């Protein structure tokens, strides 16, 4: 993988970037290699597709779909180990705090991306000033992971897309040209719409977003947790 072109002055003065690069590259490489050897065919295909997008600056958007136990979290964490070994910045988020704790360096999406909590709409942006250290962090990122993405209103994903395109001055890309991985299970909970009809709830989903036609779906189908035992970290 080609080494990133860096602005060392910005990195040395930005604690947010320094935190994301504060990893032992050799230890991360060993963790990545150990986990890659355990991949099933679908996990390996998903991993290779995402890495190819990063290595070739394709800026693709993926949705990693699979029921619980098929190893979505295992793929996320392997991506983190692999990229941080190079070293590249991976920003990891989830829609819930519990899910965020399962991903290496994970935070809630609202915290990491400064998504407005109230009054978010079809024209909203994240609360990140262009000249801030947080903006520099997003410009430096090579990969974004967002687990349980289907739980959030599509306006949150669209706000992040709009913000990244603005911060990175790439208006004709998705998510500012950063390879982005959403994840979840289509059979699980949709966004909450108080007293909303079924149609209103469905219309808030990521699948109804203008972004959705540009998303490449990667399927995980083999339930490793049932086969190997529920205590296996790699099959979360």
pLDDT for position 233: 53
Q: What is the pLDDT of residues 10-59, one digit of tens each?
A: 566 899 999 999 999 999 999 999 999 999 999 999 999 999 999 999 99
Q: Which CATH number fits domain 10-224: 3.40.50.10680, 3.40.50.300, 3.40.50.620, 2.40.420.20?
A: 3.40.50.300
Task: For residues 53-73, give the mean pLDDT.
Answer: 97
Name residues whose C-beta falls within 8 Å of residue 161's C-beta, 6 or more positions apart in sequence.
Answer: 174, 175, 176, 211
Q: Name which of 115, 35, 112 is nearest 76 in CA terms.
A: 35
Q: Is the peptide bond before 89 cis (omega within 30 degrees of 0)?
A: no
Q: What is the DSSP code string of 72-110?
A: HHHHHHHHHHHHHTTT-EEEEEESSHHHHHTSTT-EEHH
- Domain boundaries defined on the chain: 10-224
Residue 201 has pLDDT above 90, yes or no: no
């Amino acid at each position: 993988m080609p080494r990133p072109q860096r602005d060392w002055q910005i990195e040395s003065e930005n604690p947010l970037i320094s935190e994301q690069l504060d990893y032992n590259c050799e230890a991360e490489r060993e963790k990545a290699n150990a986990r890659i050897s355990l991949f099933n065919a679908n996990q390996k295909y998903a991993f290779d597709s995402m890495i190819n997008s990063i290595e070739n600056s394709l800026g693709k958007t993926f949705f990693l779909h699979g029921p619980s136990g098929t190893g979505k979290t295992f793929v996320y964490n392997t991506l983190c180990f692999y990229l941080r070994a190079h070293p590249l910045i991976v920003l990891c988020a989830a829609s819930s705090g519990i899910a965020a704790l399962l991903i290496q360096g994970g935070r809630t999406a609202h915290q990491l991306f400064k998504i407005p909590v109230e009054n978010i709409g079809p024209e909203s942006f994240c609360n990140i000033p262009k000249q801030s250290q947080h903006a520099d962090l997003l410009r430096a990122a090579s990969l974004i992971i967002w687990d349980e993405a289907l739980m959030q209103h599509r306006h949150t994903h669209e706000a992040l897309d709009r913000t990244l395109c603005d911060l990175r001055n790439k208006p004709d890309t998705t998510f500012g040209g950063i390879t982005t991985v959403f994840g979840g299970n289509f059979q699980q909970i949709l966004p909450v719409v108080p007293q909303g009809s079924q149609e209103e709830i469905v219309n808030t989903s990521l699948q109804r977003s203008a972004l959705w036609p540009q998303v490449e779906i990667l399927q995980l189908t083999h339930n490793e947790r049932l086969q190997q035992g529920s205590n296996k970290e790699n099959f979360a």
